[in-house]
Amino acid sequence: MIKQTLEQFIIDREEELPYTQGALASVLCNIAAATIMISEVISQAGLLDILGDASTTNVQGERQKKLDIYANEQFVSALKDGGECCAMVSEENEDYISMDTSSSKNAQYIVAIDPLDGSSNVDVNVGIGTVFSIYLRKNNSGKPTLEDILQKGEKQVAAGYVVYGASTILVFTTGNGVNGFILDLAKGKFYLSHPNICIPKTGAIYSINEGNYTYFSEGIKKYLRYCQMQDRATNRPYTARYTGSMVLDFHRNLIKGGIFIYPAPGKLRLIYECNPMAFIIEQAGGRASDGSTRILDIDVRGLHQRSDVFMGSELMVIKAEEFLKFL
C-alpha cells in the first residue's frame, strides 16, 4: 500500500482548509520543509559544531542553544521565501518579525512558533520538538500590527508540532481532526502514519516536574497524592513520566492517554506553546485549561505571555480541575 505524503494529504483536504486558496497549504508545507532541514541537522548534531550553548540569551533570559538559533533561522527563511506569511512570533525573538518582502506584501497569515522545545535535551540525546500555531491576520492590508497578532487561541486556523526522536513525526490540525506524519529522511518527505488521532478519555500517565513540588498550590499537591494512591477501579497509581520537553510528554499522552501539567510558577508561553497544543488536544477529543479557564478562551495581552496549563485526556483534566476549584 502506497503511503500518502503530507503534500498530497493537504491537496486532497484543501477544501477543508479555511480561507485558503492554496495559501494556508503553502504555509504548512513551508513549515514542514524547515523541519526536515532541522531534523537532518539534529541527527548529525554530535558530528557538527552545533551542540551546546551559544553566547546569547532569549527574551525570557534563558541561555540559547546553538540549535535554537539554527532552527529559528530556518523557520524565518522558509516563511519569508514562501510569501504567504506576513509576520512571525518566536520564542527566540523579543519582538515579532515582519515578513516585509515583495512576495509577502499581500500575505494574510501569522505564524507563532517555538522553534526548538526542550533543546537542552539534545546534548544528552533525548528527543526534542517544534510547536507552531497559525492565525489569519485581522487587517487585510498594510504592515502587520500587534492587534493582528494578539488573538485568542480559538482564532487559530491551524496548529501543530514536530517530535525529533527515534523518528521525526509531524502532527497537525486545521480544525478537522488531528493527523500525524512520519518523515522518511532518505526521501525528504512526510508520510501519513497516524490518521485521525483521538486521545483516550482517560489514561494512566501524569507528566509534571515534581522537582517544583514545594512551589505547588495545595490543590496540585492533593491531586498528585490522588494520582499516586492505589485504586484498581481507576487504574491508580498512575505512572509518572516527565522528560523536560513538553512536545515529547504531550505526544506520548496524546497517543496513550494521560495528563500534562505545568502549574505556577509556569513558564510555558500562551501564544506559541499553550494555544497550539490546546487546539490539537481539543481536536483529538481532549481538554486543556489553566486549571479553571479553557486555554483557547484566555485573552492574549503580550507576545511572550505565560500560562499555567492542564491538558490531556478529558476525564483526567476534569479531575485535576476539581482539586483546584475550592482552594
DSSP 241-309: ---S-HHHHHHHHHHH--EEEE-SS---BIIIIIHHHHHHHHHTT-EEESSSSBGGGSPP-STT-B--E
pLDDT at 1: 62
Architecture of 6-194 per CATH? 2-Layer Sandwich (3.30)
Whole-number Å distance between alpha carbons of 75 and 34? 6
**Mean pLDDT confidence for 294-298:** 98
C-alpha distances out from residue 6 to 165, 193, 254, Å: 19, 10, 20
Confidence at 175, pLDDT banded by 50, 70, 90: very high
Confidence at 45, pLDDT banded by 50, 70, 90: low
Q: Is 170 left (phi over 0), alpha (psi -120 to 50) or beta?
A: beta
| Percentage with pLDDT > 90 across the chain | 72
**Mean pLDDT confidence for 145-166:** 94
Instruction: Tell me which residue has cell 497569515.
Output: 109
Burial class (CB in 10 A: 0-12, 13-18, 19+), 110: buried
Radius of gyration of the chain, Cα coordinates, nearest whole angstrom: 19
Q: In what order do the strands lie in the sheet with 259-262?
A: 239-240, 205-207, 259-262, 309-312, 287-289
C-alpha distances out from residue 221 to 29, 210, 212, 228, 230, Å: 43, 10, 11, 11, 16
Beta bridge partners of 132: 113, 160
Q: Domains of the chain: which residue ranges?
A: 6-194, 205-325
Q: Omega before 237 cis (within 30°)?
A: yes
Give the containing element (helix H, strand E) for 163.
Answer: strand 156-164
Instruction: Tell me which residue has cell 522537582.
Output: 211
C-alpha distances out from residue 34 to 73, 142, 242, Å: 9, 27, 27
Nearest-10 Cα torsion for 244, 268, 309, 178:
-80
Q: Specify the amino acid at residue 62.
A: E
pLDDT at 327: 58
Q: Between residues 70 and 131, which one has the greater pLDDT?
A: 131
Q: Specify the amino acid at residue 58.
A: N
Whole-number Å distance between alpha carbons of 260 and 317? 9
What is residue 5's DSSP assignment?
B
Fold of the domain spanning 205-325: D-Maltodextrin-Binding Protein; domain 2 (3.40.190)
Whole-number Å distance between alpha carbons of 17 and 284? 17
Q: What share of the chain is helix, strand, coil (3-state, %, to 5)?
A: 40, 25, 35
Give the containing element (helix H, strand E) for 162.
Answer: strand 156-164
pLDDT at 105: 66
pLDDT, tens digit (0-9, with 9 covering 90-100), for 120-145: 777 777 889 999 999 999 887 778 99
Q: Between residues 232 and 126, which one has the greater pLDDT?
A: 232
